[in-house]
Chain A
Amino acid sequence: MSTPDLLYSDVENDLRASVRDLLADRCEPAALLARVESGEPYDTKLWRTLGAELGTAGLHVPEERGGQGASARETALVLEELGRSVAPVPFLGSAVLATSALLGTDPEREAAAGLLRRLASGEATGALAVPLSTAPGAPFPQSVRASGDGGLTGRVGTVADAQAADVLVVPATGPDGPALYAVDTGTAGVSVSELVPLDLTRRIADVTLTEAGGRLLAGPERAADALGQALLTGAGLLASEQLGIAEWCLQETVRYVRERYQFGRPVGSFQALKHRLADLWLELVAARAAARYAADALATGNPDTGVAVAVAQSYCATVAVHAAEECVQLHGGIGMTWEHPAHLYLKRAKANEIALGAPGRHRDRLADLVDLPA
């Protein structure tokens, strides 16, 4: 096994710069706050530019399957930037979870190949119909049943990005066992009902299917692996989003405590605060290394990927929450206001802690993987 590359390449830094420029321009806090309470919580225009025009919708999809032919490393980088800006785009649902599930299907199967192309080009938006809390390694879901003719019936709660999706990738149990189906959200028998989310910038919905028409994407031979790999990829890459959240929180907090004067001096000159921020910085140093390792392992098919993801997700989830909580606290009263964007980061960080397996779930997996049994 070669040494993993934990740095950012020049190409990756260029990608970061263009994503960051776009988000700085189109996703500034005041507009974001106005949007979260509007009837259009997702920024579809921004998503079009980011996903279709910048080509991030299918970044880690091979070129011959309609994507950009980059890797999970680059996708992770986009997630870092999306975390830094808590951008309201369905990137996780579509560009990470749905596409990763489709990558595990048979390229010869037209329904799957065609959908992957549409998602990778940004022409359509997808979501993976599992509860957002589902951890890698969870048993194949039993909540949706498929009849012999592809009619799907069942209910899946708290699906991320479902209301932004044109197509759902639905794990279902059919006559032959586990399968993945594509279901168009606009069609008969499909109901996507929005929930009031803790995280205002990533929406969740309950999906109810009643004899909904589904196209088979993968049968029993591939469905479980495809779903497992999608969840593993999602959990591993979400660590980069968590890193991005923590970075914004640390940066903003440092900026604020340098400017805010009390007792005739910047509050950032008090050692109690300096030490807390130094500790937080140190957590970020480790979070960055862990997130990079997970992204690199996913990109290179490293046999150590399971450990890399479990370490990254359990560690980075906690760091993001800690950073967001410190951000609120060290801003004082301002940090408690709706007007200041800190709460958007806190809400995203806390929801992310649950997403794709809470830290304890990942540590349980780790216990198995590294032979430290209970």
Chain B
Amino acid sequence: MSEPTITADEIRERVRALLEQHDPRTTDRLEFLRARFDAGLAWVHFPVGLGGLNTYRELQNVVETELTAAGAPSNNPRRIGIGLGMAAPTILRFGTDEQKRRFLRPLWTGEEVWCQLFSEPGAGSDLAALGTRAVRDGDEWVVTGQKVWTSTAHTARWGILVARTDPDVPKHQGMTYFVCDMTDPGVEVRPLRQITGEAEFNEVFLTGARIPDAHRLGEVGEGWKVAQTTLMNERVAIGGSAMPREGGMVGTVARTWRERPELRAPDLHDRLLRLWAEAEAFRLAGTRLRQQLAVGEPGPEGSGMKLAFARLNQALSGLEVELLGDEGLRYDDWSMRRPELVDFTGREAGYRYLRAKGNSIEGGTSEILRNIIAERVLGLPPEPRVDKDVAWKDLPR
């Protein structure tokens, strides 16, 4: 990327122009979001013409501050987290021009929701062991297999999919990355109920689903490399977003503490302050990481933010249930909902406590993230890999 030249003032100028031409009070929500995308104010670090201005990621704050102040509608990021955090950076990096033009705008405006078809019953941490097969048929691929834990598959229009295209080579080599049409008749989505009572994730059965070759991302056999981009970005998306002080779970608990003096106890006070300081230190670490990234891509350090995020969320939400005493014995609602949003800090304390348990599993478990940090950041010896040179079809399972 060439040296960005846009300043914060120029961005403010663009925001003003957008607001002048599309007054948020009178403009249709979707129309406004599309105009915002076309003005390069969707994600300023993206290229010009694709919703961005080819400038520093941090300058996005300027846009958000100005637009929030003006009461502009939001694209509701919690509804489209997988699209924004994972699909978009992958399409940007590996997509053809045609794919970028087709997918990025409706992805960002929320017209099209995305899901991530990676994990399978037999391939979780060991994603590269996956067995969903894609077989070429002329200009199309025919896909058969099962995906699992697929968040928001029930609202999704598209899925990013990794499938096996060559079972005769070692597992990392024979995969290819696709964009899967969730409305294809070969795609069946079944809800999978979680410990919270709701079904945010799903099982997805692929039975002869058809994907045009034009919806392949990256080369045939390069799926692992493409998936790495998705996973790195996923970890930053989960743990690394910019936050004000007391943003996220710590703010929720701090509010309860302030509003409910009758619940306070010395032991809880000590734990709250430790966690508050730690959450603030990691919030600053996130700011520092983004300053380092400025423009460019997250490295393995992003895994660290996700690891910290999971630990803090779990400790804080656990503290809140304990703080609530008798109320902590209750739960708001066990009925099986099919939520549209993924919201870690939503609903009540009991829900937050249970949902936070997923934070150390989704997007790479905390154990896997520690392996990654130990090996790629600290340079410690890798785990023994007995399956590295074995053809995928011969792996023990």
Contacts and interface: CB of A to CB of B under 8 A. Distances in A.
Q: Do A and B bind each other?
A: yes
Contact of B273 (A254, A257, A285, A367): A367
B325 interface: no
A363 interface: yes
A372 B287 contact: no
Q: Which 4 A-B pairs have the closest CB atoms?
A: A274-B374, A269-B381, A289-B284, A278-B373
Given A254-B378, A275-B370, A290 B284 contact: yes
B281 A289 contact: yes
A96 B381 CA distance: 41
Given A268-B381, A271-B383, A286-B308, A374 B287 contact: no
25 contacts: A6-B288, A7-B292, A254-B380, A273-B380, A274-B370, A274-B375, A275-B367, A275-B371, A278-B369, A278-B373, A279-B370, A285-B285, A285-B301, A286-B282, A288-B285, A289-B287, A289-B288, A292-B284, A310-B277, A311-B280, A312-B281, A363-B270, A363-B274, A372-B276, A374-B264
A293 B273 CA distance: 18
Given A254-B380, A290-B281, 9 more contacts: A269-B381, A274-B371, A282-B373, A286-B281, A286-B308, A289-B282, A292-B288, A363-B277, A366-B276
Contacts of B273: 363, 366-367, 372
Question: What does DSSP make chain B's interface, helix, strand, loop or mixed?
Answer: helix
A287 B307 CA distance: 15
B276 A3 contact: no
B378 A5 contact: no
A229 B103 CA distance: 56
B272 A372 contact: yes
B381 A258 contact: yes
A371 interface: yes
B379 interface: yes
Given A6-B284, A258-B381, A315-B277, A285 B266 contact: no
A275 B382 CA distance: 12
A275 B365 CA distance: 13
Interface string B341-379: 000000000000000000000000001011101110111
Contact of A374 (B269, B278, B380): B269
A99 interface: no
B170 to A, nearest CB: 22
Interface in A217-276: 254, 257-258, 265-266, 268-269, 271, 273-275
A370 interface: yes
A112 B294 CA distance: 44
Contacts, number: 125
A281 interface: yes
A277 interface: yes
Given A7-B291, A372-B257, A374-B269, A281 B281 contact: no
A364 to B, nearest CB: 8
A75 interface: no
Interface residues of B, number: 45
A278 B370 contact: yes
Contacts of B371: 271, 274-275, 278
A286 B276 CA distance: 13
Contacts of B383: 269, 271
B281 A258 contact: no
A7 B288 contact: yes
B254 interface: yes
B379 A254 contact: yes
Interface in A151-187: none
Interface centre among B257, B258, B378 (most CB of A within 10 A): B378
B307 A371 contact: no
A94 interface: no
Given A282-B304, A289-B284, A374-B264, A268 B278 contact: no
A305 interface: no
A285 B380 contact: no
Contacts of B281: 286-287, 289-290, 311-312, 315
Nearest to B382: A269
Contacts of B261: 373
A286 B287 CA distance: 10
Contacts of A371: 258
Contacts of A310: 277
A310 B287 CA distance: 19
A366 B379 CA distance: 37
B108 to A, nearest CB: 25
